[in-house]
């Protein structure tokens, strides 16, 4: 799929022009450089990288199983391609169309000792499984006083806006899982990050949900190390250092705020860009230390603003860094409507222009 990666034209007033230019993505993908210590690399996009990470897992962990809807032939996004011929039908298999059943089954298999990697076909479909995740997976260790746990469970799901997904193929439900102690929620911004984070999730002793930004599956092409490597969970990454304002985001939106940082630099505003990476448990220290330094915080995410992840970050930071703040914390997020109405998708986004406007407001406060 040739998802051409151009910058979004400035916000315009008429619908029709947007209609023509709808094919352009709303962000520019920023490539990262691989760590030379990780050895030889290969140019791969996000879905090939996920496939590579799963391949490594199946190879090294003989208890690993991958299951979900249509994963056997490779999955609707090809992330599990070629795994079944290589590792066998008893390790990579299809489930019927039943999300609650898939996650419940995954929890059981994990408790019994298998490394279960469940795929939910789209994050929008995860809700039938919400009870299993919140009431079973998250609570297993706690309610059994550590006698049992389903830490070997990892749930993967494609996440976020894709340009034409509309209401049921565009959701970003991370906030609804952040509110559940006992699970970890991780969202990568790129291929190199995804491999390290996914391998960490699989190895982690807690049930993890790994959301994969579906718009990046083809467009996030980087030189990804072929060896196995992990990236620590609950550690945010400072991508660019700065002194005037801290920008925090995750997933696709990180690329938007990186552009915003460049735009702000032209106006002599130095932005510190942070990728949160793990939504829960999130890295309070890195964010707070950064805000103590800069005095301003902007959080941006695709999901609707009310009670989004930004709300939790804003509340915590305003308590921890109250005396360091130079301006109120701003959240530039989606509207409080259902993400994302097909016909209005370009208007829904927390675009770079809105972010820049917020930065200027905070600088001039």
Q: Is 169 a catalytic residue?
A: yes
Name the 3-class secondary structure at 87: helix
Question: Which residue in 31, 35, 39, 97 binds another protein (CB under 8 A)?
Answer: 97
User: In whole angstroms, how close is the CB of 179 to another protein at the nearest point?
Assistant: 19
* DSSP β-ladder status, 271-275 and 237-240: antiparallel
User: In whole angstroms, how close is the CB of 141 to another protein at the nearest point?
Assistant: 26
User: In whole angstroms, how close is the CB of 329 to another protein at the nearest point?
Assistant: 9
User: With respect to another protein, which residue has the nearer C-beta, 15 or 112?
Assistant: 15
Burial of 341 (0-12, 13-18, 19+ CB in 10 A): middle
Total Cβ atoms within 10 A of residue 279: 23
Which of 169, 301, 302, 345 is an active site residue?
169
- Rounded Cα–Cα distance for residues 184 and 178 (Å): 8
User: In whole angstroms, how close is the CB of 186 to another protein at the nearest point?
Assistant: 23
Q: Phi-psi region for residue 64, left (φ > 0), alpha (ψ -120 to 50) or beta?
A: beta
Full DSSP string of 148-160: ---TTEEEEEEES
Sequence-ordered list of residues with C-beta below 8 angstroms from that of 285, at least 6 positions apart, any chain: none
Which of 99, 119, 174, 330 is an active site residue?
99
Binding mask 318-357 for another protein (x = CB under 8 A): ----------x-xxxxxxxxx--xxxx--xxxxx--x--x
- Rounded Cα–Cα distance for residues 57 and 75 (Å): 17
Question: Which residue in 27, 29, 67, 77 binds another protein (CB under 8 A)?
Answer: 77
User: With respect to another protein, which residue has the nearer C-beta, 30 or 105?
Assistant: 105
User: In whole angstroms, how close is the CB of 250 to another protein at the nearest point?
Assistant: 17
Which one of the spans 59-67, 90-98, 112-120, 225-233 is the region binding another protein (CB under 8 A)? Answer: 90-98
Q: Is 255 a catalytic residue?
A: no
- Residue 136 sits in the site that holds another protein (CB under 8 A): no
Q: For residues 183 and 208, is the Cβ–Cβ distance under 8 A?
A: yes
**Which residues form the catalytic set?**
99, 169
């Amino acid at each position: 799929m040739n998802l051409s990666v151009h910058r979004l034209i400035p916000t315009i007033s008429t619908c029709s022009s947007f209609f023509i230019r709808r094919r352009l993505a709303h962000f520019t993908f920023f490539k990262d450089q691989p760590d030379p210590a990780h050895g030889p690399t290969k140019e791969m996009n996000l879905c090939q990288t996920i496939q590579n990470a799963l391949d490594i897992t199946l190879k090294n962990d003989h208890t690993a199983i991958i299951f979900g809807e249509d994963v056997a032939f490779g999955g609707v996004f090809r992330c599990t391609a070629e795994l079944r011929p290589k590792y066998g039908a008893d390790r990579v298999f299809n489930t019927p169309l039943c999300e609650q059943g898939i996650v419940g089954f995954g929890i059981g298999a994990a408790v019994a000792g298998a490394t279960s990697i469940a795929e939910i076909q789209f994050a929008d479909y995860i809700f039938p499984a919400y009870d299993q995740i919140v009431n079973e997976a998250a609570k297993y260790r706690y309610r059994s006083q550590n006698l049992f746990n389903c830490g070997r469970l990892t749930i993967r799901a494609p996440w976020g806006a894709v340009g034409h997904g509309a209401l049921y193929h565009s959701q970003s439900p991370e906030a609804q899982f952040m509110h559940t102690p006992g699970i970890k929620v991780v969202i990568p911004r790129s291929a190199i990050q995804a491999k390290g984070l996914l391998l960490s999730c699989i190895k982690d002793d807690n049930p993890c949900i790994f959301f994969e930004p579906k718009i990046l599956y083809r467009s996030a092409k980087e030189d990804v190390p072929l060896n196995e490597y992990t990236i620590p969970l609950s550690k945010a990454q400072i991508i660019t250092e700065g002194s005037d304002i801290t920008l925090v985001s995750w997933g696709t939106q990180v690329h938007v705020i990186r552009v915003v940082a460049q735009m702000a630099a032209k106006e002599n505003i130095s932005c510190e860009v942070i990728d949160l990476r793990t939504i829960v448990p999130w890295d309070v220290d890195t964010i707070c230390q950064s805000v103590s330094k800069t005095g301003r915080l902007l959080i941006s995410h695709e999901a609707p603003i009310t009670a989004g992840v930004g709300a939790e970050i804003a509340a915590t930071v305003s308590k921890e860094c109250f005396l360091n703040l130079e301006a109120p914390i701003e959240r530039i997020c989606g509207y409080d409507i259902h993400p994302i109405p097909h016909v209005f998708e370009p208007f829904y986004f927390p675009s770079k222009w809105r972010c820049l406007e917020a930065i200027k407001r905070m600088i001039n406060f």
